[in-house]
Each structure stands twice: as structure tokens, then as C-alpha cells.
Structure 1
Amino acid sequence: MSITTYIYEDLKARLSSSQELPVQLTLESLADFYEVSFSPVRSAVNRLIKQGLIEKGDDRRLTPKATRKRSQTKEHDQALPAPPQDMYELIANDFVRLSLEGNAIDLREEATAKQYGISRSALRIIFNRLAGAGLIEHIPRRGWRLRPFLQKDMQAFLEVRELLELKALDLAKSHLVDADLQAILAGNILPASKKEHPQIDNSLHAYIIEKADNIYIQDFFQRQGKYYGILFDWEEMDRQAAIETVEQHQAILHALLEKNWSVARKALSFHIQNNHPVLSKIRPPADA
């Protein structure tokens, strides 16, 4: 069972019976409760909306929909599903937290497999996926090592990213489609109240790189961007950081739709260099 399916089944059971919801019915509260990002919560909620168990008002507020099927007695309560054991997500999240402490840690397969209660062969598959994402690296004849988060590394990445993404924008100008840009803009929504979390669509960057059609630019982001992509997704759990992301995306997209390339370049450059208020404050010991 995927984490999205688990969230969907758990909420469906609660909404279809007399059991109380664990938290307020907002993406932010549900993400905090299930300890996940907004993506699986949003997918699960959308399925429940389609099934008529949740209503989305004009102000985008989510409310349980009154239904005759909703039991009024606990004897008809549905059993709640057991949480899934996605060991890759579990280990990846643990390693991200360790990485943010800024220490390079040697990882032993036998000890780590025992810690998570899985076989060494299963762990090795997970380690290879994490190595592909840049979160850990394999040291010949020595095993595995966790990649520490360092401010200087992030700044170096952002400098190269800015150069290549601005070049990609120059190459992509004549290939951008207004309907595509409008769709991305519609996915970046500021919260209507202090209780809501903004909706973020990060696909703008991948869209520009795709339309640039330059294999060397694509190669950089495919190989070097995965690790920071994981960290940037984690950072967007912070509400204020997410709001700033939406505002900056909107500024870029409006400029692109107006074909104001100089403004779009400035907005994109500002977004890349100033969109990490949480990560930029982290000062781990190894980065001192």
C-alpha cells in the first residue's frame, strides 16, 4: 500500500463513520499528522472530493460532506488501515535529517539493516536508490557515507543552477506555450486564510529546461539536482517559505505570459538565489 492510498483509506474510514478526524481538514494539518509532504495528502483529498466525502468551497476550504451513509454509532465504524511500511521513504527522511546536521557519517549495511529490521539485500537496493539521488555515496572498499549538507555546497549549486536555468530560458523563449504557463500558474495558489497552506506547482523549472532542449543542461539537473530537490521539498513544509515560493513563481509566470523577458530573467534569478529562507539559516558544525 502506497502512502497516498493509506491516507485515502484512513480518511475515508473516518469520514464514513462516527470516528472523529485526527486534525483539522486542511492540507497543512493532514501533512503534519501523517508526517508526509503535501503531494500524497493532496492526491488522497482529491479522490475523496471526487467520491463526495469532502466538499471544497468557493474559498477552497475543505469540509466533510454530510451523507446518509455516515454512521452515527460506533458499532458500524470501519476499521482503520494499518500504516504502510515504505522503508525507502522512512530511511530517506531519516537520512535527510542527519544530512542537515552537517556531519559525514559512515553507514554500515549490517548495522543499518538491523536498525530498520530489513535484510541486507533489501537495504542495498534502497542504498543504491539513495546514491542515485545523491543523498549518500559509495566509497570503494569502505562502504557507504552520508552526504552532509553544507552551505558552501548549496551556494555553489545555486550559482551554477542560475547560469544554466537562465540560459535555458533564453533557449526556450520561442517554444513556451501560453496554455502550459497558465496551467502552471493555476497550480500556484496563495492561502485564503491563515489556517490554509499555499498550493505549489514546481513544474515551471522542469518545463523551461525541457523546452530549452539542451542535453547538457538537462544532464546537470538530472545528476546534480536530485539531492537539492529532496531538500527543497522538505523546506516547503515551512508555510512562510511556501508562500514566498508561490509569490515568486507567480511573478515569473506573469512576466513570461507578457513576453517581458528581461523581467522574467530578473524574477527567475531572484527566485533561485533567494528562495531558501529555511536552509540558508542552517549552520551545522561542519559548515562553520
Structure 2
Amino acid sequence: VAEGAVVDGVRADEETVGAADRIAAGLRRKVASGELPLGSWLRQSAIAEEFGTSRTPVREAIQALTATGVAELIPNRGARIRVPTVREIQDGYRVRAELEGLAASIAARYATQHQIEQLREAERLFETAVADVVAGEEGLEEGRQRWTRANDRFHDIILDAARNRTLSAALEWLHLTLPRNLTWNELSRDPRLMQTNVAQHSAIREAIERGDAGAAREAVIAHVMSSAEVVSIGLGDQS
């Protein structure tokens, strides 16, 4: 279809823009979840096939990701998901720690009993996932998926309890440049770090459950910054 042509009342270039937005959103979700790891090359043909489009909206989607710093263009090679520097990792985690600490302090004041129960269940699932990985009862990929789901669930419940859309939007953007699976990549190498992670979740949940906003904030900040430390060390070793 020629650019600007009208098909069923919709301009072809408008369809392209809509498809580009859909592709960009899908790729962002994959980056945030870790399904599309940092440093992954963005192959236009494969992406077009996955989303059922031509390459034109794929190129526009990649341009959009590049404009926001999620992807980068490498001369004569193509585009890939950008790997942040150690300094960017540290700065990003500091901001994330403060934002998630704020969310936890609000949640400690306003979380409903149902949300507290959900938080307990997410904590239990997280603890079980870690225990199974440490015991070697399942493969690393299965363990990563269970750990990620339980970890995301735990943090999402806290964010839901905070009931602040601006806070949610800011953290969603941060997770595009600091995917949560970065922590898994480092923790999974050391069972002691994983067990410490479990204890940190417990401390956060306990503070929220007893309504201690200050302790909840401090527990989350300590939790996030400990992740920043292990991720920074891991990326530094790879550089």
C-alpha cells in the first residue's frame, strides 16, 4: 500500500504509526521483563515477522527506542538494546531506591488487609522460588522466570497500595533502563545473595504490615541499593 493511500477509511501512514507504537511498546515490555536482554541486537526481519508487519513500522519503532535511550545505533552493524554504564546503573538505582522507598512508606499507611495478604503470598512464592533454585530442583531459566514473576508481584503490590500514578509511571520508565532481571543475573551466581534477598523482602513486608512508614522506606532503600551494588560489580567485571 502506498504511503498516504486510504484503505477502509484509514491512511496507510497512520496504520504504520499505529503499528510502530505497538511494536515499540512490545519491545519495551520485553526489555523491562528481561526477555530481551541488554545488548540484544534488534533484527528488523525477525521483529517484523514476530509482530506481523512490514519493516517500515519496525524501523520507526527502533527509532523511537533510540530516541529515548532504550536502544542505540551501531554504525555498519544495526541497532541493539543499550547497555548502561556502571555510573548510569548506580544513578538509576539511587533514584529507584528513593521512589520505591516512597511507595513503601505510602503503602505502610494505606495498604488494605487484602493487599497485606497479597504481599504475604508474593513473599511466600518468592521464598519458595529461591529455595528451589538454591536446592537445584529446577533449571536456571525456569528459576529465573519464577523468581521474576514473584519479585515483580511483590513490588507491584506495594506500588498498587501506594495508589500514585505518577510514581508508577516514573518507575515504569526506570525499569526500561534498569530491567529487574539485572539483579537476577548477579544474585543467581551466589545462593547467599539470593537468601539475603528473601530476608530483605520479609523486612519490607513486616514494616508495611505493622504500618511503620519510616522502616518500610528504609528497608526498601537498603534492598534496592544492595541490588545496585551487586549489579554494578557484575557489570564492572564484564567491562
TM-score tier by shorter-chain length is 0.5 to 0.7
The alpha carbon displacement at 1:138 in A equals: 7.7
**Over the residues paired in the alignment, what is the CA RMSD in angstroms?**
4.2
The alpha carbon displacement at 1:157 in A equals: 0.9
The reply to whether residue 225 of structure 1 matches residue 160 of structure 2 is no
Q: What amino acid maps onto 1:247 in structure 2?
A: A
The reply to whether residue 274 of structure 1 matches residue 229 of structure 2 is no
Structure 1 pair 243–159 and aligned structure 2 pair: CA distance change class (3 A): same
Question: Counterparts in 2 of 1:166-181, with a 5 A limit?
Answer: 166-177=101-112, 178-181=116-119
Structure 1 pair 261–224 and aligned structure 2 pair: CA distance change class (3 A): closer
Does the 8 Å contact 1:134/1:226 carry over to 2?
no
Residue by residue over 1:232-262, the C-alpha shift from the partner in whole angstroms, topping out at 9 and shown as x without a partner, is 3652672535433323212211232233444
Q: What amino acid maps onto 2:131 in structure 1?
A: P
The alpha carbon displacement at 1:150 in A equals: 0.7
Does the 8 Å contact 1:158/1:272 carry over to 2?
yes
Structure 1 pair 204–181 and aligned structure 2 pair: CA distance change class (3 A): same
- Which residue is equivalent to 1:209? 159
Question: Counterparts in 2 of 1:76-91, with a 5 A limit?
Answer: none
Larger relative contact order (CA 8 Å, sep ≥ 6): 2
Tell me, in whole angstroms, the C-alpha distance in 2 between the residues paired with 1:196 and 1:247. 21
Does the 8 Å contact 2:101/2:221 carry over to 1?
yes
Does the 8 Å contact 2:159/2:168 carry over to 1?
yes
Structure 2 gap ranges (5+): 1-26
2:85 to 134, 145, 150: 150
Tell me, in whole angstroms, the C-alpha distance in 1 between the residues paired with 2:47 and 2:99. 40
Residue by residue over 1:81-125, the C-alpha shift from the partner in whole angstroms, topping out at 9 and shown as x without a partner, is xxxxxxx79x967973537xxxxxxx8x8xx44688966347437
Tell me, in whole angstroms, the C-alpha distance in 1 between the residues paired with 2:135 and 2:122. 23
Aligned residues: 186
Residue by residue over 1:167-197, the C-alpha shift from the partner in whole angstroms, topping out at 9 and shown as x without a partner, is 2222222321322222222222241663236
The alpha carbon displacement at 1:271 in A equals: 0.5
Does the 8 Å contact 1:171/1:212 carry over to 2?
yes
The reply to whether residue 264 of structure 1 matches residue 216 of structure 2 is yes
Structure 1 pair 130–186 and aligned structure 2 pair: CA distance change class (3 A): farther
Question: Counterparts in 2 of 1:1-288, with a 5 A limit?
Answer: 96=37, 98=39, 112-113=43-44, 120-121=55-56, 123-124=58-59, 127=62, 135-136=70-71, 146-177=81-112, 178-189=116-127, 190-191=130-131, 194-196=135-137, 200=147, 201-202=150-151, 203-229=153-179, 231-232=181-182, 235=185, 238-239=188-189, 240=191, 241-276=193-228, 277-283=230-236
Does the 8 Å contact 1:134/1:224 carry over to 2?
no
Could you say which structure has the larger radius of gyration?
1
- Which residue is equivalent to 1:64? none
Tell me, in whole angstroms, the C-alpha distance in 2 between the residues paired with 1:188 and 1:130. 32
Does the 8 Å contact 2:44/2:55 carry over to 1?
yes
Structure 1 pair 253–131 and aligned structure 2 pair: CA distance change class (3 A): farther
Q: Percent identity?
A: 21
TM-score, normalised to structure 1, is 0.50
The alpha carbon displacement at 1:146 in A equals: 4.3
Does the 8 Å contact 1:172/1:208 carry over to 2?
yes
Structure 1 or 2: larger helix share? Answer: 2
Structure 1 gap ranges (5+): 1-87, 100-106
TM-score, normalised to structure 2, is 0.58
Deviates more, 1:164-173 or 1:195-204: 195-204
